[in-house]
Chains A and B, each alone.
Chain A
Amino acid sequence: MRKNARLASMAALPLTLIIGLGACLPGVARAKVCVGDDAGHELCLEAPAQRIVALSPSVTELLFAAGAGERVVGVVNFSDFPAAARSIPQVGGYDRLDLEALLALEPDLVVAWQGGNPREQVERLSRLGLPVYYSDVEDFAGIAETLERFGTLAGTPEVAASAAASLREDVATLRARYAGADPVPVFYQVWEQPLMTINGEHWISRSLELCGGVNLFADASTLAPRIGVESVLARDPEAIITGGMGDPNSTWLEAWGDFPQLTAVQRDNLFFVDPDLVQRATPRLLDGTRALCDRLEVARGRR
């Protein structure tokens, strides 16, 4: 018995040493961190994550904005912002992950896009023992909150808190500025063939509302409904805004010239905005919202 106890204490000695050393390493926080994610799960890490894989371009942006950029070791296709993200190894596309490449990066945190990533594949990662945070950001409040959570998970709470605070402040400023603005009926064109827009649930619609825009398709039942040209003519927007395919010289807007009875065409209120700024729910949405507000101001000036 006594022999066993001595053996155990001898075995425990190096273990305590290792743990002690780990705790003394400068700059490495060993504290346990916990956050709730957008799927309603409570996620706890023994220590802030050092190797993070981000499973959507938006998540990558949010992680960088939260100060965790240098801990991102894997991204998916089209993760092009900030520029540093382009040189990070890719683990496939958001809709089809290369699980081997992902596991080979030996991540200690995977941030998934709930609703975008294939559920079966993400669940398999969970079953293999990887901590998974499900992200589903819908508006400015969600962006700010997600920044704070990512800061907690990655051990960069100060950077994240200040990014979240300044975002909330800027949004409040913008909201106050346009609080009494005249309403402008807007059609936001997501795609041309098939013709697609967004309903009132989408953050683009909320951004338009913030600066006095009225999304004419806010009542649609799906987030990105496919609609007919007739329904656009019937609702007669005062402004038509599109991100096109990222090209300001897109022919999408010219095509509306076929319908001179539209108020938007008569007043030449056909506007382009950079789709990267408005179609991703990240801190850059603030710039996108400013761009949308500017377009609506131009439309008001042409009355």
Chain B
Amino acid sequence: MKKQIIPKTDSSLYFKVLSIAALLIFLPALVLPVKGQLSAWELPGYKERVNVFSLGLGRTTERETYLSWSTYSGTSVSFEEDNWKCYSPGKLFGYGRTHSSILYSSLRNPIGGGNTLYLEVECFYSRAWHALHTESSDLLVGPSAMFKLGGIYSGSNSNNVATGEGYLSIGICADYVWRFNIGGKPLAFQASFFSPLAGIAPSPNYDQPYWYVYKYNQYASMIHFAWLGNYRALTQQAAIVCPLSKGSLRVGCTYDYLGNELGGHLTRISDISFTIGYVYRWERKD
């Protein structure tokens, strides 16, 4: 049986073009004047909140053997909202961290056909422990709860046109910030990591038609216990933050992955997006 190695990463040309575009956006920010800001990124103080609103452009790769044995890929657009809150700086898990995103991808099979759409909504909520604090870096680590829901719609598959992906889980979250200077300009490298450890996830069983699920009320049979052994998911962000005259600019990339073999069929969905976002710091009034 002749096998083809599954493409693990997206084309380097695509990656390079987006990298250059991101740099072109980011470089002007380096020469903009900064009014009195000594740091590009500080964790929120008590009753403070830091928000980042980002837009992303990326590439999604999807393989779902319930619908097709081929790997689909295509362009994605996304919107992300991240925020950090400080509830009680002195206490364990005194920080709150949320991440919400919506991602839409238009996908095609390797021969350029089989129009497929993918829509994903993801939310995390974490309580974080301020594990490390130095003049140049911070590390927040803590437990998180994740909700992820996605749908794949196939324009060419006539009898089973769509399938859903989901995960309601608990996991871990980590945020790392490293502050540095280039030519006297304060910058920060910010990286985030979320990964669920265990939870429940819906998936049809092998060739279980959605018609069966509806007709025989088999919804319960679609719910699977998921853990790292049968379901891997993660979201990673890596970005550079540069202060502007008001707020900050964050340019980076987000990697989102979901993979499982639930129900006896294989699911692999990954997306890498370059994001550009605006960082906004404000005081909560509660």
A and B bind: no
Binding site for B on A (CB under 8 A): none
Binding site for A on B (CB under 8 A): none
